[in-house]
A and B are shown apart, each in its own frame.
Chain A
Amino acid sequence: MPVKKRSAASSASSKGKRHPDDIFPMVLTSATQELFGCLADEDVTGENPHKLLRKDDIIQDIKTRAAVSDFSPVKQIVLDYPEDELLLVFDRDFVYGQCFYLVVTPEAKDRILNPPVLKTEEVFKNEVNKTPQPQPWIPQGSEREVDAEADTETREKLRYKFSRVRRNFGSPVCFSDRNTADAKDGYLECASYQDSRFSIKQMQRDCGMQAVPRLQSSSAQTQWKFQRNVFTQYVPRQLSDEEKENVLQSDSLKKFCTSVTPRILHALQQVQIANVFVDSWKALGAGVEDGDWAGKVYEDLALYQAFTDQKYTNNKKISTVNWHPTIYGVIAVALMKEKEERESESTPSFILFYSFSDPSNSQLLLECPDDICAFEFCPSDPNIIVGGCINGQVVLWDISAHVTHLQGTEPRSKKVSIDTDTYDLDDNKEKTPTVHYSALSAAESSHKAPITDIQWLPPTFEVTRTGSPADNKYKISVQFVTCSPDGWIMFWDLRVQKATRQPVIDAKQTTPRSDTFKHLDRMWKPLFRISLPKINTSGEYLPLKFSLEHYTCSGNKTEDDDEINDSSEVPDYSQLRLPSAKTLTALEDVNTKLYIGTEDGEIVYADWKPVRDESGRQHSGKPLHCYRVHDGMVNTVQRSPFFKDIILTMGSFNFAIWKEGVMEDLIIQSPSSEQICTAACWSLSQPAVFFIGKKDGSIEVWNLLEKTSGPAQVQAHVTDAKITCIKPWTASSKQHFLAVTDDQGLVRVLEIPKTLHSSSRSKGSSVKKYFQLEEDRLHFYLQKVDEWEKLKKEAEEAKKKTEPEKSPKEKDQPTVPSVQEWRDHQMLEESVLKEHRLWTPPANTQDT
Chain B
Amino acid sequence: MLTDANCCFQAEVEETLKRIQGQKGVQGIIIVNSEGIPIKTTLDNSSTVQYAGLIHQLVMKARSTIRNIDPQNDLTFLRVRSKKNEIMIAPDKDYFLIVIQNPSD
Q: Measuring CB to CB, which residues of chain A are less than 8 angstroms from any residue of chain B?
A: 236-239, 244, 247-254, 256-261, 263-265, 267-269, 271-272, 275, 277-278
Contact = CB atoms under 8 A, between A and B. Distances in A.
B102 to A, nearest CB: 10
Contacts of B53: 236
A248 B13 contact: yes
A268 B92 contact: no
Given A253-B13, A256-B95, A264 B25 contact: no
Contact of A256 (B35, B92, B105): B92
A261 B95 contact: no
B104 A272 contact: yes
Contacts of B103: 271-272, 275
Contact of B25 (A239, A251, A253, A272): A272
A239 B33 CA distance: 10
Nearest to B49: A236
A239 B52 CA distance: 13
12 contacts: A239-B38, A253-B9, A254-B9, A264-B20, A264-B90, A265-B23, A271-B103, A272-B23, A272-B24, A272-B103, A277-B81, A278-B105
A259 B31 CA distance: 14
A237 B19 contact: no
Contacts of B104: 272
A264 B88 contact: yes
- Chain B interface size range: 35 or more
B65 interface: no
Contacts of A277: 81
B39 A239 contact: yes
Contact of A267 (B6, B19, B33, B77): B77
Contacts of A238: 37-38, 49
Contact of B95 (A251, A253, A272): A253
B70 interface: no
A269 B23 contact: yes
B73 interface: no
B67 interface: no
Nearest to A235: B49
B25 A252 contact: no
A249 B105 CA distance: 38
A482 B51 CA distance: 64
B59 interface: no
A159 to B, nearest CB: 105
A268 B10 contact: no
Interface string B15-43: 01001100111100001010111111000
Nearest to B45: A238
A268 B13 contact: no
Contact of B39 (A244, A260, A272): A244
Contact of A271 (B20, B25, B37, B90): B25
Nearest to A261: B16
Contacts of A272: 23-25, 103-104
Contacts of A265: 19-20, 23
B20 A263 contact: no
B101 A271 contact: yes
B86 interface: yes
